[in-house]
Structure 1
Amino acid sequence: MSDWKKNIETLYFQDNGVIPNHPTLPVLLYKNVWAEEALHAESLLNRHGWGNSWLNGVFNYHHYHSNAHEALAVVSGFVKLILGGEHGQKVYLQTGDVVVLPAGTGHKRLEASADFRIAGAYPGGMSYNTRTGEENDRAKALQEIQEVPIPDTDPVYGQDGPLMEIWSGKKP
């Protein structure tokens, strides 16, 4: 079994009428993959072809990006997020964890440690929007989600990572 297969979780979310989530692609949760390298998470994401990066936190309101997938890597501290919208799933992330959110996936910070910092990046350095589930954005958002291509690389493992297998429909 590939080493990465032991440390990855897939989470599927359905459209809840406000937050569309992605109709087919799961969230990928990589636990403790960069424990030693967490301080360099932003440059590691960039090295694997995920750019337009930043270092900051996560908004404390439900939001999603309809025109780009997003990788979030915890640089320091911990955060509890809710994914998928108001009645989604709570996840706990700590230093060294990475989560990849397919376009349309709702996310919100519920709590975080004082030292929490996270790096975010997008495949190929794509520009991203921020949507909050406004009714007048919905039709455009649903169309944009369908048009976002599968990335060329996995943000953690590069060319041969789990994203390439899982998101292309192959079983890991």
Structure 2
Amino acid sequence: MPNLEDLKECAERATGIRRPGKGEACDFARARKPHAVRFKDDGLVPNHPRWPLIIYRGAVELDDRHDPAAVIEDLFEANGWGDTWRDGIYDYVHYHSRIHEVLGIARGKGRVRFGGKKGRIFTLKAGDVAVLPAGTGHQCLSASDDFLVIGAYPPAGTYDECTTIQDRPRALKTIPKVASPRKDPVYGTGGPVSRLWKKAR
């Protein structure tokens, strides 16, 4: 059964109301210095062997004229990151071994641990964006009642969800094979993710 956010998204896409559209979405990206964090394999979560997690603080300008979720969706889609969803972040440790993921915070704030049980905790709030290379563990530890996350994926790769030690053997083989995205989900061609991930090879 669709939730309220799913219904809002359908209505907004059908009418265009409160959406900037892909043509104007890039105007909502604010220049921010990327915060790059590397994580080691912790025995359960492999993390990425070469590429760091990237966090942009306050990277998306949100206003009262547009639905913040729609702004982030249109921005990600304008830069080639699709299959968007609206939800929270799972409260258990998981990672994706066959695809990268971007998480944009549309409302509220949450404490999210990246990198697995031995990783680091970050408080993410509206306008922040986290770009996770394949293999990066993530888990929501706590969040405000209005916490809303927009997730998306680059065109190359296949969604999967890994949570157990049994997932590791296959994940260790597939994670390094996931191609770097052609565009940064926030800043497009030549954005920091593209540069940092290529540099880190």
TM-score by length of 2: 0.79
SS in 1 for 2:158: coil
Q: Please tell me whether residue 140 in structure 1 is matched to residue 170 in structure 2.
A: yes
- Distance change in 2, residues 1:125/1:24 (3 Å): closer
1:23 matched to which residue of 2? 49
2:81 matched to which residue of 1? 50
- Distance change in 2, residues 1:150/1:125 (3 Å): closer
Aligned 8 A contact 2:45 2:135 in 1: yes
Please report how far the alpha carbon of residue 159 of structure 1 lies from its aligned counterpart in structure 2 after TM superposition: 0.7
Separation (CA, whole Å) in 1 of partners of 2:95 and 2:178: 13
* Structure 2 unaligned blocks of 5 or more: 1-29
Separation (CA, whole Å) in 1 of partners of 2:80 and 2:139: 25
* Structure 1 unaligned blocks of 5 or more: none
Please report how far the alpha carbon of residue 7 of structure 1 lies from its aligned counterpart in structure 2 after TM superposition: 2.7
Of 188, 193, 199, the match for 1:158: 188
Separation (CA, whole Å) in 2 of partners of 1:33 and 1:136: 37
Separation (CA, whole Å) in 1 of partners of 2:118 and 2:124: 19
Please report how far the alpha carbon of residue 135 of structure 1 lies from its aligned counterpart in structure 2 after TM superposition: 2.4
Higher strand share: 1
Name segments (4+ residues, structure 1) moved above 3 Å.
Answer: none
Structure with larger Rg: 2
Q: Please tell me whether residue 87 in structure 1 is matched to residue 118 in structure 2.
A: yes
TM-score by length of 1: 0.92
Alignment root-mean-square deviation, CA: 1.5
1:97-122 CA distances to partner (integer Å, 9 max, x unpaired)?
00000000000000111011000001
Count of matched residue pairs: 166
1:6-28 CA distances to partner (integer Å, 9 max, x unpaired)?
53100000001100000100000
1:67 matched to which residue of 2? 98
1:34 matched to which residue of 2? 60
Greater CA deviation, 28-37 or 157-166? Answer: 28-37
Please report how far the alpha carbon of residue 126 of structure 1 lies from its aligned counterpart in structure 2 after TM superposition: 4.0
2:25 matched to which residue of 1? none
Separation (CA, whole Å) in 1 of partners of 2:153 and 2:34: 19
1:13-68 CA distances to partner (integer Å, 9 max, x unpaired)?
00011000001000000000103264311121111100111111100000000000
Separation (CA, whole Å) in 1 of partners of 2:130 and 2:110: 12
Please report how far the alpha carbon of residue 139 of structure 1 lies from its aligned counterpart in structure 2 after TM superposition: 1.0
Higher helix share: 2
Percent identical among aligned pairs is: 40
Aligned 8 A contact 2:156 2:179 in 1: no
Residue identity matched to 2:177: E
